[in-house]
A and B are shown apart, each in its own frame.
Chain A
Amino acid sequence: MRWVVLLVVGLACGLLATAAMELPRKGDPGSPASVGVAAAYTARAMAETKTPNIVTAVLADYRGYDTMGESFVVFSAALACLLILVPPAISARGRREDAARAGRGGAAARGGGREA
């Protein structure tokens, strides 16, 4: 079993190493990431948005839709935490009632009362 694992890991390492050989050099202007729309962004960002920091211009303007999705993701993560980790309502009354209904004993109810 161990030899099989070693073989698979070694093959994966070799695959990744051969793939890494084909990567463009760092900062290569001819790399696929630099020949598409990036050239237009760097050339036009200052004139179109008056923003010297091109990263900000791309993030908030050219790719604004993407950034909006990111903020939605952060907010939905917060909502999920709120709904999963704090099951009762935010009000102390709801928390006490729900704790009593769930039969979680006095600890949760006392905690809720203390916070209120």
Chain B
Amino acid sequence: MISRYDSLMARVTSTFIAPAIQVYAFYVIAHGHYSPGGGFQGGVMLAASTVLLRFVLGSEEGYRRFPPRRAALFGALGVLCFALIGTVPLLRGGAFLDYGMLPIVGAGEALRRYIGILLVEVSIGFAVWGSLVVIFDALTAPGNGADEGGRS
């Protein structure tokens, strides 16, 4: 259980910065084809923005903005989407994770691979986002020592 950080300046600044971090994180995920970055990096940034809000606004407000259940859901959905995207080509006679066999109308094989990479990167981003927030919530859950002693 984290209590609210006792500084108005830090709270206001972090509430303004967190959405910017998230927008940049989605840019990092979506722009992974052209620049360094991708699902893992963007997912870590998304998790960092969520954790920042939890640290600064406290667990109560942080949980209201991004519930712990949603974190678990995002993590599971990201991994599931990755596996499903890999399975779809298998059903159409291709190899596992062969994005060239994805059923996308009006796209050549190279473009299908391009879209497949994008879908997979987004799934990874959500999986990493959810997983890291779940880890953070588990570490700061009430009753496992985080609320006894220390500043919070």
Contacts and interface: CB of A to CB of B under 8 A. Distances in A.
Q: How large is the interface on A (under 10, 10 to 19, 20 to 34, 35 or more residues)?
A: 35 or more
A28 interface: no
B76 A51 contact: no
A77 interface: yes
Interface string A78-92: 110110111000100
B86 A68 contact: yes
Contact of B96 (A61, A65, A67): A65
A55 B34 CA distance: 10
A68 B72 contact: no
A71 B117 contact: no
Interface stretch (A5-13, A14-22, A30-38, A103-111): A103-111
B87 to A, nearest CB: 11
Interface of A: 47-53, 55-57, 59-61, 64-65, 67-68, 70-72, 74-75, 77-79, 81-82, 84-86, 90, 95, 99, 104, 107-108, 111-112, 114-115
29 contacts: A49-B113, A52-B33, A52-B34, A53-B33, A53-B36, A55-B36, A56-B32, A56-B38, A56-B121, A60-B117, A65-B96, A65-B97, A67-B124, A71-B123, A75-B75, A75-B76, A75-B79, A78-B134, A79-B134, A81-B138, A81-B139, A95-B143, A104-B143, A107-B143, A107-B147, A107-B148, A111-B1, A111-B143, A115-B1
